[in-house]
Every structure is written in C-alpha cells, then in structure tokens.
Amino acid sequence: MEFSLQQLKQFDGSDASKPIYVAVKGRVFDVSTGKSFYGPGGPYCIFSGKDASRALAKMSKNEEDVCASLDGLTEKEMGVLNDWEKKFEAKYPVIGRVV
C-alpha cells in the first residue's frame, strides 16, 4: 500500500478502530501490537501516524524532529536510525510506503 503523509496521519492511534502506523525511512510499519508505546498517552505516541526517521536518528521526541528529512544527519545518527529500522523490521510488519 502507498500512503501520502496526510493519509498516514489517520493511523495515529486516535481512532481505536484503525491500526497504528509509524514510518521509518519511508517504509510504513504496523505497530499496533506496541499500542502501549505508540497509542495515545504512550511514550512514543508522537511518532504515530508519521515518518519518525529524523527523530529516531536523533533520539529526539521534539515535534520538529518527527519528520522524514535525513538532511544534515551525522554518520553516527544514520547508524542509530539504521539500528532502529532493524528493530522495527524484527518486531512489526511492513505494510506499505510513504509516497
């Protein structure tokens, strides 16, 4: 499935009848099984319904970092992002891409 960033926002956990999605490097993961983390009030709910690549790379929960932009990231931050991507791959199914 392909998602625009606008469509992805619908899967932020605010509607209990819909799954919760987080995108990492443009790939959309269904993180519904991690609802306690990504659902409303969870410690990582800020990432839900968004591409969280930059925030994950920077280990940041700042709203301005929750975006797909990898511009200006250091080699170390890219390594951190790649580690996060592997964790997501091991734990959650990929259900689409952000276009």
Share of the chain above pLDDT 70, in %: 100
Could you tell me the pTM of the whole model? 0.96
**What confidence score (pLDDT) does residue 32 get?**
98
| Full set of structural domains in the chain with CATH | 2-98 (3.10.120.10)
Please give the average per-residue pLDDT across 14-33, as a whole number.
98
Residue-level pLDDT at 12: 98
pLDDT tens digits, one per residue of 45-73? 999 999 999 999 999 999 999 999 999 99
**How is residue 75 written in tokens?**
């080699």
How high does pLDDT run on average in the chain? 97
For residue 35, give the nearest of 46, 55, 19, 52 by alpha carbon: 19
Mean pLDDT of 69-86: 98
Which tens digit of pLDDT belongs to each residue from 8-18? Answer: 999 999 999 99
